[in-house]
Chains A and B, each alone.
Chain A
């Protein structure tokens, strides 16, 4: 148990806490996302129908939260995995963290740009 607790916190307290917060957000938002795309609208997804769904501000909120929480959770999870193998030293871990923040912010900007025609 103690070994688990140590390795779970090795990425830092905030990394651990935000991984949990984004996990809970993702479960709720992903449930909505999957029910609407994979169950209710299977076979009926195209540019126009996605636009009609995103005409509701609530769905834009769901998608933007999914994008932000998803990118953070994905890259922070990837960071935890990589820190177990190659990025074990403090210096390498810091370099990895900086690179992943740059990648994450770029993905957030690009993802928001991708949603923009439906949002504006």
Chain B
């Protein structure tokens, strides 16, 4: 099969049963979320120029926004670790062990998330960071 029909054939519904397509879809969704977050983040930080930054930072310390921050952390960690997996694939590392590579990356996501969640919940409950 030439390259073009093969590419078309790979878009069939059957491929959605594979882990890789979900990895790809979540990579896109998390990427798009992060693009819009980056824009929002630049605008928020620029509010320092207008003297509005401290008000915004107080808002971000409220429980709902700390929890939303954890959603952002999931997007960042998933996108980062799946990205590392893709770069390793580019170097030919793990190309015969796709599922092992994906679930190892996900295990690292869970471990890193646990650290951020612990800090966030400690902050929500006590109002203090874990190091302060």
When distances are taken between beta carbons in the complex, the residues of chain B under 8 Å from A60 are none
Among A7, A30, A39, A42, which residue has the most Cβ atoms of chain B within 10 A? A42
Docked-complex contact A81 and B31, CB < 8 angstroms: yes
Contact at A27–B80, with CB atoms within 8 Å? yes
A44–B116 touching, CB < 8 Å: no
Number of interface residues of B (CB under 8 A): 41
- In the complex the two chains form, what is the Cα distance from A51 to B120 in whole Å? 23
Determine whether the beta carbon of B119 is less than 8 Å from that of A39.
yes
Interface set of B (CB-CB < 8 Å, partner A): 3, 6-7, 10, 28, 31-32, 34-35, 38-39, 42, 45-46, 48-49, 53-54, 57, 60-61, 69, 73, 76, 80, 83-84, 87, 90, 95, 115-116, 119-120, 123, 127-132
Instruction: Give A1 to B42 CA distance when docked, in angstroms.
Output: 38
A77 and B31: CB pair below 8 A?
yes
Dominant SS among interface residues on chain B: helix
Q: How far is the CA of A111 from the CA of B42 in the complex (A)?
A: 6
A78 to B33, CA, bound (A): 10
Question: Which residue of chain A has its CB nearest to the CB of B47?
Answer: A114
Interface membership of A110, Cβ < 8 A: yes
